[in-house]
Amino acid sequence: MLADVAVTLQQWPIIGRRPEIEVFERALGSGELAGLVIHGRAGTGKTRLADEYRQQAAAAGHPTERVAGSRTTALVPLAAVVALLAGGLGRPGPDGQVDTVALFEQTRQALHQHHRGRRLVTVADDASLLDAASLALIGYLAAQGTIFLIATVRTGEPVPDLVTSLWRDGRLERVDIGDLSRAHLDTLLHLVLGGPMEAGAGREFWEVTRGNPLYVRELVLGGLESGALVDRSGVWHLEGRLPSTTRLLDLVEQRIGLLSAQARSVVELLALCEPLELGYLETAAPAGVLESLERAGLVTITVADQEVRLAHPLHGRVVRAAMPRSRARAILLAQAQRLEDGHPVPGPAALQIATWRLDAGGRPDPAVLIRGAHLARHAHDFRLVRRLIEAVPGEQLDAVGALLLGEALYELGVFDAADQILAHGQQQPSSAHVALRLAVTRAKNAQWGLCQPEAALAINATARTVITSSPLAEELVADEASVLTFSGQPGRALAVLERITGGDRRTRVVRAIAGAPALAMTGRTAEAVRVAEAGYADHVALGDELAIAHPAMHIVNQVFALSEAGRLAEAEQLAQAGAEIAASDRVPIAQIFFAVNLGRVATLQGRVATARRYYAEAAGLAQASHFDGPRRIALSGLALAHAMLADADAATQALAERATGPAFGFRGPEQQLGDAWTAMASRRPAQAAQQLRDAAAQAATTGHRTVESWLLHDLMRIGAQDTSARLRELADACDSPLVSARARHSAAARARSARDLTGAADDFEALGALLLAAEAAAGAAEAFSRDGDQRAATAALRRSSALAAACEGAVTPGLFRAATAVPLSGREREIVMLAAQGLTSKDIAERLYLSVRTVNNHLQHAYTKLGVNGRAGLAQALGSTA
């Protein structure tokens, strides 16, 4: 996609300016007007708009020209408008001087003749910087109707007399342009990058640029160049911060450079320490300075909280970059001192003080650094936590500091360093509470980051020998269960949780995190939903604590439990809401799991293309935050979705990508659905069946009842084996209507009972599992036909194709039941099914990566075999309503 972006960038699209373009069309069309002037602040795109005007005029057959003012051409009269001087530079008169009136008239006549009376559409960019003679010539030509003037004038710069006089005469149209709205920014980014952007990245663009088109452009270019802006599976992600570019610096520097020394020092102060209290600044800055900065659009004052900040975040960056180190240091130290004097008690100011001291290159008090790190952690700013703690000299780093740093490193995906620092912390003297949190965090890092559940269990076991008092001992047991749940052993996890008798609120929160998914996996879905809900409530009541997951993880668990309970629509809705929270709080692990679960729900619903999109997004997020284990789950799901769309190559590719990471036990048997369906799509049904059998056996030993039912049901769906007996047992052991529906479906298929297959289709449809419903209905059609009830068979077929139409192009063996009597090849079936859904040959060719001719050849063969004449006959043969 990078190459496409580069091509697109040569012509930056013009967004949100169509009304202004229409103003130009009308102005040029009317004989009355001599021109148009574009006003706006720096970077709003005046030049771009003027050039767009010029291009449009040229396209309509007008001759065009462009002149531009600059600080250098302003020194030489007429230097800027040489391009217009068609009649030469004029001849000196007897007195040795050029008669300007004669020169202007010569120029007019020459242009008139040259362009055969058509008005020359002339852009005068940065008109304020043109010299007086050039302005006079342009004014003359515009007034005479020789040129149609398009002038740009930057807000705040003097408006040339020529513009004011034409304006006064009503011969000039005025266009004011500002920054883009958020929606227009979104559209601009979408068009320039050629695809969607992850929510967090979109928000960052808005926050940094506030819709200023030039900033957007510079930051996109800078982001692509530095690799901060990356395309992961068709979705743009932002990894790291947006860089600034030289051009951006110049631009802002120009604006700041014109300020008085007093005003500049206020801007510098704000650039380092914003926001500042209005009351303080009013006493610190001379009278009038703040007002003039506000008028110039450089600072904004919020009345509600009486705070002053820079109007544009980028101004701060640029000013900071340009400021001498010594000066920045002096300002920061003075402000830190001021704050410390005013706020002697440790509070939120501690963070400010510590960061300012650090920025100043000083050595803040380690106690203040650690206090500051606590506050930064509270704001989930793990980069700042890391920075603050890493400034503490190694020999002074105590257990609490190590805990904060270890957790931050884990959150930032630096797992090896996290393990080291946490181990260091465990060797320092500490309270039992801190010792517990060090152990828990280190185990979590081993489990999720390093993908070593055995190491996590060992860390937990060691801690349990040392920490034996209640409620800490109980929490460690809950944590052991958590490791077991998330390494794919729900049965053992629940057994461990049984051991807990007491404990406090915190223990309950950890129990819920471990317990809810384990309950859901073992088929106690109603209880799982309740535990997740209660866990969330407890977690919120607990407040901010160290060494514990983000509250959103309970929502992740609830989504999972709902989907295992077959409450697919609720799961989807909750996951979408949760994903928003996770994105705005920047909790990557929760973001990944929301995307994974959305993919999973979509798979169960049969919306396979949607599933593919979510899984791809989850894989991208996981890669960006270095979570190899969750990435494995996402890539397995991606392979499954590709395979159900009959894209064997892409599915194989996803599995190959997955093979580069370590093994990960969480949802282990489920991961093998990806392998099995890829084998199916690659026409290796025996292998697919074996993989499903192995995975189901594994699920049976670890207590993954709901997934065992999924795997066994799929074994039946691919026509490999009757699994109805075990599915019945599982349905009895679980409280999930989805698990029950699978059992009913397989029993009905075994009995070839048309009525029961119809019932299974009803069950699946009620749950929103439309692909399974379509397959059951197809099975019913086959059974009706065998029973000789052709009418019922036709109706069931209709129903099956209507349901399949909602499945976004899914291609599964169960959908082909209708045509089982007809000896079609696999490819022919695939194509016939798509054609029956109403897709054109072109659509089919695109979807299957075939040529249109190949598709048509396959269709012809299929027509012959089915004994029909064409597409319409095909639909009839398959009983489709299409």
- Residues that bind other proteins in the complex, under the rule CB under 8 A: 13-16, 18-19, 21-22, 24-25, 28-29, 56-57, 59-62, 183-184, 186-187, 190-191, 194-199, 202, 235, 576, 579-580, 598, 607, 610, 613-614, 617, 806
Shortest Cβ distance from residue 327 to other proteins (Å)?
42
Instruction: Establish how many alpha carbons lie within 13 A of residue 861's alpha carbon, considering only the half-sphere containing its beta carbon.
Output: 14
- In the bound state with other proteins, the residue whose beta carbon lies nearer, of 235 and 289, is 235
Kindly state the smallest distance separating residue 201's Cβ from other proteins, in Å. 9
Nearer to other proteins, 544 or 846 (CB): 846
List Cα–Cα distances, 325 to 319, 557, 671, 770, in angstroms: 12, 49, 54, 64
Nearest to 545 by CA among 574, 605, 504, 494: 504
Residue 430 identity: S
Nearer to other proteins, 463 or 622 (CB): 622
Q: Which is nearer to other proteins, 198 or 775 (CB)?
A: 198
Query: Least distance in Å: CB of 545 to other proteins?
Result: 30
C-beta of 290: minimal distance to other proteins in Å? 37
* Min dist. Cβ of residue 869 to other proteins (A): 26
Distance CA 287, CA 292 (A): 10
Please name the residues in contact with 598: beta carbons below 8 A apart, sequence gap of 6 or more.
572, 575, 576, 579, 614
Closest separation in Å from C-beta 591 to other proteins: 11
Q: Which residue lies nearer to other proteins by CB, 59 or 303? A: 59
Say which residues have a Cβ less than 8 Å from residue 246's Cβ, sequence separation at least 6.
none
Residue 588 · residue 627 · CB < 8 Å = yes
CA distance 201 to 674: 30
CA angle 553, 556, 557 (to 5 degrees): 90
Say if CB 121 and CB 57 are below 8 A apart: yes
| Pick 18 or 791: Cβ nearer other proteins | 18
* Nearest distance, CB of residue 838 and other proteins, angstroms: 11
- Helices then strands, each counted (H, E), the chain: 44, 10
Give 684's contacts (C-beta < 8 A, 6+ positions apart): none
Alpha-carbon distance values, 446 to 227, 410, 449 (Å) = 29, 10, 6
Q: How far apart are alpha carbons 178 and 270 in whole angstroms? A: 24
SS3 586: coil
Q: How far is the CB of 183 from other proteins (least distance, A)?
A: 4
The number of beta carbons lying within 10 Å of the beta carbon of residue 295 is 10
Rounded to whole angstroms, the Cα distance separating 653 from 720 reads 25
Q: How far is the CB of 190 from other proteins (least distance, A)?
A: 6
Q: Is the CB of residue 44 less than 8 Å from the CB of residue 214? A: yes
Q: Which helix (H) or strand (E) holds 436?
A: helix 432-444
| Closest CB to other proteins among residues 19, 429 | 19
Cβ distance to other proteins smaller for residue 16 or 503: 16
Q: Shortest gap between Cβ of 160 and other proteins (angstroms)?
A: 26
Query: What amino acid is encoded at 389 in this protein?
Result: I
Q: Which of these, 722, 810, 829, 744, lies nearest to 771 by C-alpha position? A: 810
Q: Which is nearer to other proteins, 654 or 739 (CB)?
A: 654
Q: How many CA atoms lie within 13 A of 127 on its CB side?
A: 29
3-state helix, strand, coil in the chain (%, to 5): 70, 5, 25
Least separation in angstroms between CB 597 and other proteins: 13
Q: Which residues, 6 or more positions from 206, have their beta carbon under 8 angstroms from its beta carbon?
A: 182, 185
Instruction: Compare residues 28 and 556 and give the one whose CB is closer to other proteins.
Output: 28
5 vs 699, beta carbon nearer other proteins: 5
Helix/strand/coil for 636: helix
Given a contact cutoff of 8 angstroms between Cβ atoms, the answer to whether 398 and 364 are in contact is no
Q: Least distance from C-beta 649 to other proteins, angstroms?
A: 19
- 3-class DSSP state of 147: strand
With beta carbons less than 8 A apart as the criterion, state whether 373 and 404 touch: yes
Q: How far is the CB of 233 from other proteins (least distance, A)?
A: 9
Q: Cβ 18 to other proteins, closest distance in Å?
A: 4
Work out the angle at residue 302's Cα, subtended by the Cα atoms of residues 301 and 307, and round it to the nearest 5 degrees: 75
Of 557 and 610, which has the nearer Cβ to other proteins? Answer: 610
Taking the complex as a whole, the smallest distance from the CB of residue 410 to other proteins amounts, in Å, to: 27
The DSSP bridge partners found for residue 236 are: 197, 231
Nearer to other proteins, 14 or 322 (CB): 14
3-state SS, residue 301? strand
Residue 282 Cβ, how far from other proteins at the closest point, in Å?
Answer: 40
State the minimum distance, in angstroms, from the CB of residue 840 to other proteins.
Answer: 12
Sheet holding 307-310, edge to edge: 276-277, 307-310, 299-302
Closest CB to other proteins among residues 27, 354: 27
C-beta of 24 vs 627, nearer to other proteins: 24
Q: Residue 375 or 555: which CB sits closer to other proteins?
A: 555
Strands 147-154 and 120-125: parallel
Q: CA 178: distance to chain centroid?
A: 27
594 versus 710: smaller Cβ distance to other proteins: 594
Q: How far apart are CA 125 and CA 373, in angstroms?
A: 50
Q: State how far the Cα of 620 lies from the Cα of 608, in Å rounded to an integer.
A: 18
